[in-house]
Structure 1
């Protein structure tokens, strides 16, 4: 669990995050959504320690990250897995070498133990026999799965996913969403997903925080969205006339 309490962040005179409070729950996909410039990325960078909030608290299982000693922070970082927007795989490394990288950085496992662990996570993301291939030799969806394998190889308690479906077709996006959801529930991970993908919101949004101009505008589940009367949220989620009509029909059907 990650608790965000009254987080405020500004750069110069510009307020980016204004008194944001939310709880990211373990075993759930916690989605942070909002338009460009709403504060999603800055909030996430504060949560992982890349930015220091001007005020407020970020509690990892009850411990304030801002008050941690250097050694505590180092241990915390080992418990955080990151799936980057562009996957950020090393082009000159094979799939196996990419997934092994965190093990090389943070563990003293033997070569055989590392290989065993890498094969376990590659099997978990359904990428058996891809070990010797390079990123240039695999599809976009496969790259995302390699990114997920690398993110979970250290058995993280917390998993951050930045736009996991960017650049993917709808069918592959669904596969990635389901994989993230399965891993989250299987390992009781506290998963935070930054996304613009409304399919992801409706598919795996166990808990959703909607930011608007640096403030928390709305919070709820994917089921709550259908019946929300928040105008800003509805304009963001149901941007087209078609989707607005579909929402109205769904609400009318629910009321019968």
Structure 2
């Protein structure tokens, strides 16, 4: 679990985060949503310690990362897995070498043990046998799965996913969502997904934080979002007439009305 308490962050005179309070729950897919410029990327960078908040506390399972000593902070970072928006694979490395990279950096495993672990996570993401392929030889969806394999190879307690469906077709996006959800549940990871994808919101949004202009405007689950009366949230989620109609029909159905 990650707790955010009164987080504030500014760059010069520009306020990016204004008194953010939220909880990212363990064993659940926690989604951070909002329009471009709403502050979600800066909030995520504060959470993984790339930015230091001006005020507030970021508490990982009872420990405040903003006041940790350097050695303790390094140990925490090893418990964080990261899936980058563009997968961020090393083009000159094979799939196996890309996934093994965190093990090379942080583990004391033998080469045989590292290869075995790589095989385990590649099997988990349905890429058995892809070890010797290079990123240029695989599809965008496969690259995302390699990125997920690399992110979980060290058995992290926390998994951050930055726009995991960016650039993917709807069917592949759904597969990536299901994979992230499956890994989260199986390993009881605290997963944080930054996304604009409304399919992801409705499919895997166990816990959702909606941000607008640097403030948290709404917090709840994908089941609650349909019935939200927050005007800003509704304009963001149900932007098209089709989605507005779908929301209206769903609400009428829940109330037992005909449509």
| TM-based fold match above 0.5 | yes
Pairwise mapping of residues 19-30 of structure 1 onto structure 2 (< 5 A)? 19-30=19-30
**Equivalent residue, structure 2, for 1:85:** 85
How far is the alpha carbon of 1:108 from its aligned partner?
1.3
Unaligned stretches of 5+ residues in structure 1:
none
How far is the alpha carbon of 1:253 from its aligned partner?
1.0
**Equivalent residue, structure 2, for 1:35:** 35
- State yes or no: 1:51 paired with 2:45: no
**Equivalent residue, structure 2, for 1:177:** 177
**Equivalent residue, structure 2, for 1:199:** 199
CA distance in 2 between counterparts of 1:150 and 1:136 reads 17
- State yes or no: 1:12 paired with 2:12: yes
CA distance in 2 between counterparts of 1:59 and 1:204 reads 24
CA distance in 2 between counterparts of 1:66 and 1:32 reads 21
Q: TM-score, normalised by structure 1?
A: 1.00
Superimposed CA distance per residue, residues 215-239 of structure 1 (whole angstroms, 9 cap, x where no aligned partner): 0000000000110111100000000
CA distance in 2 between counterparts of 1:126 and 1:144 reads 12
**Equivalent residue, structure 2, for 1:158:** 158
Superimposed CA distance per residue, residues 35-73 of structure 1 (whole angstroms, 9 cap, x where no aligned partner): 000000000000000000000000000100011111000
Superimposed CA distance per residue, residues 84-115 of structure 1 (whole angstroms, 9 cap, x where no aligned partner): 00000000000000000000000111000000
CA distance in 1 between counterparts of 2:181 and 2:112 reads 30
- State yes or no: 1:167 paired with 2:167: yes
Q: What is the number of residues matched between the two proteins?
A: 256
Q: Determine helix, strand or coil for the equivalent of 2:191.
A: strand
How far is the alpha carbon of 1:212 from its aligned partner?
0.3
The alignment's C-alpha RMSD in Å is 0.4
CA distance in 2 between counterparts of 1:118 and 1:53 reads 35
CA distance in 2 between counterparts of 1:222 and 1:31 reads 10
How far is the alpha carbon of 1:122 from its aligned partner?
0.2
Q: TM-score, normalised by structure 2?
A: 0.98
Pairwise mapping of residues 1-256 of structure 1 onto structure 2 (< 5 A)? 1-256=1-256
CA distance in 1 between counterparts of 2:116 and 2:55 reads 44
CA distance in 2 between counterparts of 1:208 and 1:235 reads 16
Superimposed CA distance per residue, residues 166-193 of structure 1 (whole angstroms, 9 cap, x where no aligned partner): 0000000000000000000000000000
